[in-house]
Amino acid sequence: MCPDLAEGFEEIYTVRDDYERFHQRNTAFGRAMRAGKRGYGDPEAKLKRLKDNIPGYGIVDSAFSGAALTAAQASHSGRGNQDSGFYSWSPLGVTHKPEGVPRWEGSPEEAGRIVAKAGKFYGAVGVGFTELDKRWVYSHNSDGRPIVFEDVDE
């Protein structure tokens, strides 16, 4: 954890002991993914909203919504799915370590400084680190597959 966040972190961001993981379908963005439910994106419901001329659901609004969705899908964002899009554990671009070059190694503090520098270079206002609390991760992804943690060799 970043030294300046280490002290007082639990006081600022307390997570109650009874907090439990939950299914990704039980979020505002996952409501339409609930099994057997007709969602916001249902074509018949969308057509009805357009025909009924409901404010905020007109053709211009629909175009803005579609453009935003296209941008999200075109970016291969993965929309919160594990190991896909921006959440992929594989390189997203063409940068690979050249063969014959040793793997970078350094302390967690040095790695933290490098990640923070990269984040700020790409526009982040602040960058911080913490240990992963499994309760912060959905129990199931949007496709209904359980998200399982395993201990693996590094």
d(CA 120, CA 5): 17
pLDDT of residue 139: 92
Residue reference for tokens 């399982």: 148
Domain ranges (residues) in the chain: 3-93+103-136
Among 137, 153, 131, smallest CA distance to 22 is for 137
d(CA 142, CA 140): 7
Along the 154 residues of the chain, how does pLDDT read in single tens digits? 455 555 666 677 777 889 888 887 777 666 655 655 666 667 788 788 888 878 888 777 777 777 666 666 655 555 555 666 666 666 656 666 768 878 888 999 999 999 999 889 888 888 988 888 899 999 988 778 899 988 887 6
Q: Contact at 8 Å (CB) between 20 and 135?
A: yes
Beta bridge partners of 146: 140
Max CA-CA distance within the chain? 64
State the pTM of this model: 0.44
pLDDT of residue 116: 92
Six token digits for residue 22: 């939950």
pLDDT of residue 32: 59
SS3 59: helix
